[in-house]
């Protein structure tokens, strides 16, 4: 009786031990894919959560969605790139602050503008410019983080720290990738020991057909993209009047709100270009050439009609712009410096929202907005 009980006990222990040895391995093989997916999702959520904790308002975020931040008080950090002349009849000063990504925003202050090249933290309210619909930071307070000299001395140390951080991320990423590859091959080697059914052969055929279908679809998509690509630059430029007799019908259908003659071939264009920012010809751009004078190469703007040798250096505004004087303003080139002079005593010439007094000049910078009556121009430097 005791021997029978002993044999039965040993048999039960043997069965239990076999189950204990085979169950974890089978469970590991079945659940390896779900474990890998869970681990990947956990890492992804940790990265996203960490990024959200350190997220701060940046100039690029404000420029990307100005309406979201309109009327809100924000704090931005960046380097003072340059000062913008606001005219002589206002106490408001403008300066451009740029972040590490190269994004810029114009800030307005009633104090002395900060020195260029220094790094500042500026707090203020975001407003939208009525002229170019770009965000403007109304400064409330600012604090200097580093002067121009300190920023230069710290650049080397920041570069070394950046390389150190990148190295840590690379090591972490490579280690994670190695773990994923090892787990995948371990799982794949387990699957090779199982007999493959006949169904995957049909699935493989279907996959090949799907690949061919995807390839043909991709080729068609590429063709559509090439057919609907960006228009030629000449389609977005205002065409000047020319004496050529071979003018096509497309050229004759160009905008008629601005008129100017083609300059002689010996004349050089003024650096930069003018882009119409509002009105029926919005988005159109053109280049100009000035006539030599003791003051510099001068281009006049107004509703007056100029004939003769000075016609190429005059931008004639059509009847669309009724609140512009016959001689409204002048663009003056002095070497690489471009100036705008207000020559009208009745109608205002506005630069970046500030009136330019009659007879006074202001230096044009890249992105400056010029308004003369209904005409809105943006100066872009090459």
Residue 153 lies in a domain: no
Model confidence at 252: pLDDT above 80:
no
Residue 75: predicted pLDDT: 94
Tell me, yes or no, whether 263 and 135 share the same domain: no
**Same domain, yes or no, for 137 and 239?**
no
Last residue of a domain, one of 146, 180, 205: 146
End-to-end CA distance of the chain: 104
User: What average pLDDT does this structure show over 70-87?
Assistant: 88
Write down how long the chain is. Answer: 382
Q: Please indicate, yes or no, whether residues 357 and 241 belong to a single structural domain of this protein.
A: yes
Q: Are residues 239 and 370 in the same domain?
A: yes
Among the ranges 76-90, 113-127, 162-176, which has the highest mean pLDDT value? Answer: 113-127
CA-wise closest residue to 267 among 223, 299, 222: 299
Q: What is the DSSP letter of 270?
A: P
In a domain, 25, yes or no: no
Lowest mean pLDDT among 219-228, 252-261, 292-301, 313-322: 219-228
The last residue of one of the domains, among 146, 163, 191, is 146
CATH number at residue 98: 2.40.50.140
Q: Please give the mean pLDDT across all residues of the chain.
A: 74
**Candidate from 16-30, 124-138, 180-194, 287-301 with smallest mean pLDDT:** 16-30
CATH number at residue 322: 2.60.200.20
289 in any annotated domain: yes
For range 47-66, the mean pLDDT? 70
Q: Is pLDDT of 259 > 90?
A: no
Least confident of 119-128, 212-221, 287-296: 212-221
In three-state secondary structure terms, 206 is helix
pLDDT at 181: 86
Q: Strands 119-128, 258-259: parallel, antiparallel or unpaired by DSSP?
A: unpaired
- Distance in angstroms (rounded) separating the CA atoms of residues 220 and 371: 46
Give the C-alpha separation, 328 to 374, whole Å: 12
Give the three-state DSSP class for 77.
strand
pLDDT at 210: 46
- Same domain assignment for residues 129 and 241: no
Of 6 and 257, more confident: 257
CB under 8 A, 24+ apart: contacts of 152-159: none
Torsions phi, psi for 58 (to 5 deg):
-120, 165
Q: pLDDT tens digit string along 364-373?
A: 999 999 999 8
Q: Give me the domain span that covers residue 93.
A: 59-146
Q: Residue 164 — very low, low, confident or very high, per pLDDT cuts 50/70/90?
A: low
In this structure, the answer to whether residues 252 and 119 fall within a common structural domain is: no
Q: Please tell me what DSSP assigns to residue 155.
A: H
136 and 246 share one domain: no
Sign of CA dihedral 356, 358, 361, 366: positive
pLDDT at 158: 60
Judged by average pLDDT, the poorest of 191-200, 215-224, 248-257, 304-313 is: 215-224
Decide if 353 is inside a domain. Answer: yes
Instruction: Specify if 200 maps to a domain.
Output: no
Residue 17 inside a domain? The answer is no
Residue 144 CB contacts under 8 Å (≥ 6 apart), including other chains = 114, 118, 119, 120
Report residue 53's pLDDT band, with 50, 70 and 90 as the boundaries: very low
Least confident of 131-145, 160-174, 262-276, 305-319: 160-174
pLDDT at 5: 52
Section 163-180 average pLDDT = 83
Indicate whether 3 pLDDT > 70.
no
**Which of 122, 146, 170 delimits the end of a domain?**
146
- Measure the CA–CA gap between 369 and 371, rounded to whole angstroms: 7
Residue 248 vs residues 69, 239, 245, 254, 302: alpha-carbon distances, Å: 48, 12, 9, 11, 28
Asked whether the whole model's pTM tops 0.75, one would answer no
Tell how strand 73-84 and strand 104-109 pair up: unpaired
Task: Indicate whether 242 pLDDT > 70.
Answer: no
The answer to the question of residue 184 being in a domain is no
Q: How many domains does the chain have?
A: 2
User: Is residue 341 domain-resident?
Assistant: yes
% of the chain exceeding 90 in pLDDT: 29
Q: What is the mean pLDDT of residues 270-296?
A: 87
């Amino acid at each position: 009786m005791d021997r029978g009980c002993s044999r039965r006990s040993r048999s039960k222990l043997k069965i239990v031990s076999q189950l204990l040895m085979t169950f974890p391995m089978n469970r590991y093989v079945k659940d390896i894919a779900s474990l890998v997916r869970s681990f990947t999702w956990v890492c992804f959520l940790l990265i996203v959560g960490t990024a959200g904790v350190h997220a701060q308002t940046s100039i690029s975020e404000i420029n990307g969605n100005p309406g979201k931040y309109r009327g809100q008080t924000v704090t931005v950090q960046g380097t003072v790139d340059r000062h913008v002349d606001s005219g002589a009849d206002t106490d408001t000063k403008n300066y451009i602050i740029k972040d590490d990504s190269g994004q810029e925003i114009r800030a307005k202050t009633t104090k002395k503008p900060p020195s260029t090249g220094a790094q500042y933290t500026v707090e203020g309210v975001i407003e939208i410019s009525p002229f170019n619909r770009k965000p403007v930071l109304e400064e409330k307070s600012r604090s200097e983080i580093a002067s121009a000299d300190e920023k230069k001395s710290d650049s080397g140390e920041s570069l070394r720290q950046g390389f150190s951080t990148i190295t840590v991320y690379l090591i972490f990423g490579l280690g994670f990738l190695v773990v994923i590859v090892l787990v995948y091959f371990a799982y794949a080697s387990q699957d090779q020991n199982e007999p493959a059914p006949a169904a995957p052969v049909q699935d493989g055929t279907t996959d090949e057909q799907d690949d061919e279908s995807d390839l043909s679809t991709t080729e068609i998509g590429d063709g559509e993209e090439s057919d609907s690509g960006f228009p030629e630059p000449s389609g977005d430029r205002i065409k000047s009047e020319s004496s050529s007799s071979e003018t096509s019908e497309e050229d004759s259908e160009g905008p008629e709100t601005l008129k100017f003659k083609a300059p002689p071939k010996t004349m050089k264009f003024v650096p930069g270009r003018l882009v119409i920012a509002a009105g029926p010809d919005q988005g159109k751009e053109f280049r100009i050439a000035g006539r030599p004078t003791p003051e510099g190469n001068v281009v006049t703007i107004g509703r007056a009609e100029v004939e003769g040798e000075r016609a190429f250096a005059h931008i004639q505004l059509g009847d669309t712009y009724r609140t512009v004087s016959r001689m409204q303003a002048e663009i003056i080139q002095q070497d690489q410096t471009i100036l705008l002079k207000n020559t009208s005593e009745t109608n205002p010439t506005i630069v970046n929202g500030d009136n330019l007094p009659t007879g006074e000049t202001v230096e044009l910078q890249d992105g400056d907005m010029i308004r003369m009556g209904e005409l809105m121009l943006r100066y872009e430097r090459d």
